Structures are given as C-alpha cells and as structure tokens.
Amino acid sequence: MKKLLIAVCLIFASTLLLCSNKSAFAAEDVSHGGEIIYTKPLKSVIFSHKVHVEDKGLGCDRCHSGLFEAEALKAQENPDFNMESLYKGKYCGACHDGKTAFASNTQCARCHTGVKGYVASQKGEKAVGKTSFGPKEAITLGQGASAVKFMHESHKLGCSECHSKIFPMKKGESTVTMDAIYKGKYCGACHNGKKAFASEQCIKCHSKVPPPEKSLTYKVKGVGPVNFSHKFHTAAFKCDQCHPKVFAMKKTQGKMTMDAMNNGKFCGSCHNGNMASAVSDCGKCHKS
Ligand code: HEC
Ligand code: HEC
Ligand code: HEC
Ligand code: HEC
Ligand code: HEC
Ligand code: HEC
Ligand code: HEC
Ligand code: HEC
Ligand code: HEC
C-alpha cells in the first residue's frame, strides 16, 4: 500500500514536472538552444534561438516536433542538409519559403554570416579565390546543338549577382533563348558589350550553332509569300552578320516592312542592288 502510494506520488510528481516543463517551454524567459553555428557542408550558417523564439515568438514545437532534433549540429550529419533541400521545404526551408519567413533563395548573407569569403563574394569582391563555392563542374544549359556549357569558374562574381534574380540555384531550371538574352535577360543581363562581352560573339558561348533547317515563311497580303532560307544565306554569311543587329533571333511577322527595306533595313541591308539583288526585284523574294 505504501509502495503504491509512493508510485502514485512519483507519477504525479513526474507529471507535474512534465507539465511545468511544457509550460516552461512556452514561456518567454526560459533557456532554449542558444546560437548554433553549422560547420558542414559549409562553416557559415548561424541559427539563433533568440531570434526565432524570443524575438519572433515561435513555439518550440514549431521546430522540435519532427523538423529538428533538440541537439546542436545533428542535422548536418544528414547528407541532404543543403540548399536544394531548403528549396524543397525541408529544414529551415519549412518556413524560409517566402511566406512564413524570407525565402531561402534570397538574402543569402542573412543566414550565411560566418565566413569572410562568403561575405566578400556577396559584395561582388573579386577575392573569392578558394573560398568560392560555386559548383566546379560545367553546367549545361539547353539540349542539342545549341546547348551551352556554363562555368562558374569564369564568373568570380558574388553569388547574388545571379542567384536568384537571374538564375535559380538549381541546374536545368532556366529556359534560355537568344531572344531573351538580347532583351537583357539571363546571360544577356551582363553579356551586352558593357558588363561583359556582347552576345554577338556566338562561339564564345557555343561550340557550334546550326541555323534553322526549314525556311522561314512570311505570308503577305496582296503579294506572294516570302521564303527566307538560312541554308542558302549561311553558306555565305556568319550568324553574327545578321544577328542580332539586323534581325531578331525569333521569327516575327509584320515587323519588316518594304519601306524599311527600301531604307536599307532588314533584307534591304544586303538586297540593295550592290551586295545582293535589289529590293525592287519583287519576284526574287515574293513567289506567286
Ligand atoms: C525556428 C526553429 C526552432 C525553434 C522555434 C526552437 N528551436 Fe531549438 N533548435 C533548432 C535547431 C535548428 C537546433 C539545432 C538542431 C540541429 O543542428 O540538428 C535546435 C537545437 C536545440 C537544442 C540543443 C542545443 C545544443 O546545444 O545541443 C535545444 C536544447 C533546443 N533546441 C531547445 C529549444 C527550446 C526549449 C525551444 C523553445 C523555447 C526551441 N528549441 C525552439 C530550432 C528551433
Ligand atoms: C518554424 C519556422 C522557421 C524555421 C524552421 C526557421 N526559421 Fe528562420 N525565421 C523564421 C521567422 C518567422 C523569421 C522572421 C521573419 C523574417 O525575417 O522573414 C526568421 C528569421 C530568420 C533570420 C533573420 C534573423 C534576423 O536577425 O533578422 C535568420 C538569419 C534565420 N531565420 C535563419 C534560419 C536558419 C538558418 C534556419 C534553419 C537552421 C531557420 N531560420 C529556420 C522562421 C523560421
Ligand atoms: C534560411 C537560411 C539560408 C539562406 C537564406 C541561405 N542559406 Fe545556404 N545554407 C543554409 C544552411 C542551413 C545550409 C547547410 C549548413 C551549412 O552548410 O552551413 C546551407 C548551405 C549552403 C551551401 C552548401 C551546401 C549546398 O547546398 O551546396 C551553399 C553553397 C549555400 N548554402 C549557398 C547559399 C546561397 C548562394 C544563398 C542565397 C541565394 C543561400 N545559401 C541562402 C541556410 C541558408
Ligand atoms: C554569372 C552568373 C552566376 C553566378 C555569379 C553564380 N552562379 Fe550559380 N548558377 C548559374 C547558372 C546559370 C546556373 C544554372 C541554372 C540553370 O540551369 O537553370 C547556376 C547553378 C548553380 C547551382 C546549382 C548546381 C546544380 O548542380 O544544380 C549552385 C549550387 C550554384 N549555382 C551556386 C552558386 C554559388 C554558391 C555562387 C557564388 C559563389 C554562384 N552560384 C554564382 C549562374 C551563376
Ligand atoms: C552577372 C553578370 C553575368 C552573367 C549573368 C553572365 N556572365 Fe558570363 N561573364 C561575365 C563577366 C564579367 C565575364 C568576364 C569578362 C568578359 O569576359 O567579358 C564573363 C565571362 C564569360 C565567359 C568567358 C570565360 C572565359 O574564360 O573567357 C563565358 C563563356 C561566359 N561568360 C558565358 C556566360 C553564359 C553562357 C552565361 C549565361 C548562362 C553568362 N555568362 C552569364 C558576367 C556574366
Ligand atoms: C553569352 C553567351 C551566349 C552567346 C554569346 C550566344 N549565345 Fe546562343 N545561347 C546561349 C544560351 C545559354 C542558350 C540556351 C541553350 C539552349 O537552350 O540550347 C542559347 C541558345 C541559343 C539557340 C537556341 C535557342 C534559340 O534562341 O533559338 C540558338 C539558335 C543560339 N543560341 C544561337 C546563337 C547565335 C547565332 C549567337 C551569336 C550571334 C549566340 N547564340 C550567342 C548563350 C549564348
Ligand atoms: C542573312 C541573314 C541571316 C544569317 C546569316 C543568319 N540568320 Fe538567323 N534569322 C534571319 C532572319 C531574317 C530571321 C527571322 C527574323 C524575323 O522574322 O524577324 C532569323 C531567325 C533565326 C532564328 C529564329 C527562328 C524561329 O523560327 O524563330 C534562329 C534560331 C536563327 N535565326 C539562328 C541563326 C543561326 C544559328 C545562324 C548562323 C549559323 C543564323 N541564324 C544566321 C537571318 C539570318
Ligand atoms: C547579309 C546579307 C543578306 C541579307 C541580310 C539578306 N540576304 Fe538574301 N541574299 C543575299 C545574297 C548575297 C544573295 C545571293 C545574290 C542574290 O541572289 O541576290 C541572296 C539571295 C537571296 C534569295 C535567292 C536565293 C534563294 O534563297 O532562293 C532570296 C529569296 C533572298 N536572298 C531572300 C532574302 C530575304 C527575304 C531576306 C530578309 C529576310 C534576305 N534575303 C536578307 C544576302 C542577304
Ligand atoms: C529581299 C526580299 C524581298 C524583296 C525583293 C521584296 N520583298 Fe516584299 N517583303 C519581304 C518580306 C520578308 C516581307 C514580310 C515581312 C514580314 O511580314 O515581317 C515583305 C512584305 C511585303 C509587303 C507587306 C509589308 C509592307 O511593307 O506593306 C508588301 C506589300 C510587299 N512586301 C511588297 C513587295 C513588292 C511590291 C516588292 C517589289 C517592289 C517587294 N515586296 C520586294 C521581302 C522582300
């Protein structure tokens, strides 16, 4: 009987303890996990309990019921403790998704505070050297003959110059076209002849670029259709003799007028009776 009483008391006491523990967990002024500096795969990220618990008022269970163990540096033992997982909504990414908290593909330096080299690279300073951690291997953009190999090594710029306002930090996500590049998007944000070499210099990025196989057809009211043959023209001219100064690298319709051609624009830049047959030779281009 006495034993039982003691047991009941013990249970009661431990329940009390649990309860008080629980309420202590929710209270503001209790101890938490403090500052945690991750060391793998990079020594640079600091997680602050103070910020999350005291300043932002997040309860312990928001993180300690499945997301993180209450043991420092446990997560970094997992091989998938990296940015890709964060972007998929794991670990810090469960909240740092642009809704609950700032997204993991923005404001890199707010989380990566620890490493000098990282901070330097954020400022776009050149001295990234060995501390740069852009992928070493080439990243292939696109498929087939026009595919381009992108080297992080040729771009010793701050990560935030490209990530993530120009490119996501994941390969195979961007659908790049030359038209977009010439409009200042993707590589064209810099390869415009000002910040870096211009995008006319095809072979600096492409090992080869075959022209479209099929002729481009323009249907014109009142006169016969026009077929423009890349096959014919590229036998004599290089891509950059026409792209992008004379023509967009995207088929348009209605943009090239005969008036403009008569003024030496578009086809008229060659079909002027000098370099090639004149624009007045309607039948050369308009087939009936
Ligand atoms: C926003 C998320 C978050 C919240 C909220 C949070 N923690 Fe943590 N806690 C972590 C992370 C992340 C770790 C480290 C886990 C790891 O590295 O694997 C951690 C680790 C700990 C550790 C281990 C510290 C050490 O040095 O080993 C304790 C203890 C802890 N937390 C207690 C608490 C308590 C108590 C609360 C509530 C008052 C709380 N945590 C709220 C994210 C959180
Ligand atoms: C349960 C949700 C949650 C998780 C998980 C979480 N955070 Fe946060 N974090 C927040 C919220 C909410 C804020 C404040 C809102 C904001 O700044 O966008 C914040 C703010 C921050 C800040 C800004 C601190 C400041 O001084 O302004 C940093 C840095 C940060 N978190 C890092 C991390 C890291 C690193 C992890 C993972 C180890 C993590 N967080 C996990 C919710 C979370
Ligand atoms: C919400 C916090 C947070 C933000 C924002 C964040 N990171 Fe991270 N990052 C982490 C954590 C946590 C790890 C894993 C621990 C470590 O390596 O220190 C990590 C690891 C990395 C790694 C090594 C692992 C990997 O994925 O290759 C790189 C590189 C990296 N971050 C780059 C960046 C860049 C660039 C940005 C901005 C576009 C960024 N991070 C933004 C938290 C963050
Ligand atoms: C000049 C632009 C540029 C800069 C600067 C840059 N990157 Fe990238 N990064 C890219 C491009 C382009 C991709 C591929 C995107 C795609 O395929 O959609 C990429 C992809 C990545 C990937 C994903 C690789 C994979 O296998 O999925 C990581 C990680 C990465 N970058 C990290 C970094 C880090 C860290 C820095 C700073 C040291 C950095 N990048 C600086 C352009 C850049
Ligand atoms: C944030 C600006 C920026 C973006 C975006 C950018 N580059 Fe660059 N790139 C540079 C700078 C700066 C240089 C070095 C100066 C130069 O060669 O004109 C460079 C150099 C290069 C080089 C020459 C490397 C060498 O060793 O000679 C190639 C090739 C290249 N970039 C390809 C690309 C491709 C492909 C993309 C898009 C996937 C791209 N760049 C996006 C800024 C950028
Ligand atoms: C700064 C680097 C860069 C330069 C310079 C460059 N390109 Fe590209 N180009 C790319 C990238 C990146 C892609 C996307 C890869 C893919 O989708 O195949 C691309 C795609 C293409 C494509 C297929 C998509 C489309 O828009 O039709 C063609 C064709 C092409 N380039 C031709 C050229 C020609 C011709 C030149 C020179 C007048 C040139 N490129 C100069 C980077 C470059
Ligand atoms: C003699 C001039 C000329 C040369 C040389 C030339 N192109 Fe074009 N290209 C054109 C014209 C014209 C268009 C259509 C423009 C329009 O409709 O506004 C075009 C459009 C394109 C398109 C878009 C096709 C579509 O269906 O949207 C691609 C891709 C292209 N050219 C690639 C190349 C490549 C690669 C080379 C070099 C191997 C090259 N061009 C050389 C004149 C030329
Ligand atoms: C860079 C100079 C150049 C530009 C720009 C150019 N051509 Fe030509 N083109 C030539 C030359 C040179 C010939 C061969 C001489 C001739 O037949 O006049 C030719 C021949 C032709 C022919 C006859 C060969 C064939 O393919 O049947 C047609 C049709 C033609 N061009 C259409 C066009 C059209 C349409 C445009 C504009 C969309 C255009 N060209 C733009 C240089 C050019
Ligand atoms: C060098 C090739 C070429 C020659 C020569 C040429 N055209 Fe055209 N023409 C075109 C092309 C290409 C278009 C359609 C462009 C588009 O739709 O974007 C066009 C469009 C037109 C149009 C509709 C646009 C406008 O400007 O009103 C008319 C009408 C026309 N041509 C009449 C003629 C007549 C008449 C002649 C002879 C005096 C002639 N063209 C000679 C290539 C040529």
Judged against a pLDDT cut of 50, whether residue 256 lies above it is answered with yes
Distance CA 180, CA 35 (A): 44
Instruction: Average the pLDDT over 163-190 and give the result.
Output: 91
Of the candidates 113, 96, 103, the one whose C-alpha atom is nearest the C-alpha of residue 163 is 103
Report all structural domains of the chain as residue ranges with CATH numbers, in order of start. 33-114 (3.90.10.10), 139-205 (3.90.10.10), 216-285 (3.90.10.10)
Judged against a pLDDT cut of 70, whether residue 161 lies above it is answered with yes
* Residues listed for the chain: 288
pLDDT for the residue numbered 33: 78
Judged against a pLDDT cut of 60, whether residue 36 lies above it is answered with yes
Selected residue with higher pLDDT from 61 and 147: 147
Phi/psi zone of residue 219: left (φ > 0), alpha (ψ -120 to 50 degrees), beta? beta
Instruction: Average the pLDDT over 28-36 and give the result.
Output: 65
Distance CA 272, CA 268 (A): 6
Distance CA 247, CA 241 (A): 9
Judged against a pLDDT cut of 60, whether residue 132 lies above it is answered with no
pLDDT for the residue numbered 44: 78
Distance CA 30, CA 50 (A): 11
Best of 140, 141, 143, 146 to mutate for ligand 6, by most ligand atoms within 8 A of CB?
A: 146
Residues with CB under 6 A from ligand 7: 209, 211-212, 216, 228, 230, 233-234, 237, 239, 241-243, 247-252, 255
Best of 181, 209, 216 to mutate for ligand 7, by most ligand atoms within 8 A of CB?
A: 216
- The C-alpha torsion from 150 through 153 and 158 to 159, rounded to 10°, is 50
Instruction: Give residue for tokens 């290089």.
Output: 238
pLDDT band at 121 (very low <50, low <70, confident <90, very high): very low
Percent of the residues in the chain that have a pLDDT greater than 70, as a whole number: 82
Which of these ranges, 13-22, 71-80, 151-160, 205-214, has the smallest mean pLDDT? 13-22
pLDDT for the residue numbered 123: 55
Q: How far is the CA of 81 from the centre of ligand 3 (A)?
A: 9
Distance CA 187, CA 210 (A): 20
Selected residue with higher pLDDT from 77 and 33: 77
Which of these ranges, 69-78, 113-122, 198-207, has the smallest mean pLDDT? 113-122
Residue 288: Cβ-neighbour burial (10 angstroms; 0-12, 13-18, 19+): exposed
Instruction: Average the pLDDT over 47-65 and give the result.
Output: 89
Judged against a pLDDT cut of 70, whether residue 251 lies above it is answered with yes
Selected residue with higher pLDDT from 188 and 161: 188
Instruction: Give residue for tokens 């910040």.
Output: 195
Average pLDDT of the chain to the nearest whole number? 83
Judged against a pLDDT cut of 90, whether residue 156 lies above it is answered with no
Instruction: Average the pLDDT over 206-225 and give the result.
Output: 94
Percent of the residues in the chain that have a pLDDT greater than 90, as a whole number: 56
pLDDT band at 133 (very low <50, low <70, confident <90, very high): low
pLDDT for the residue numbered 129: 33
pLDDT for the residue numbered 13: 39
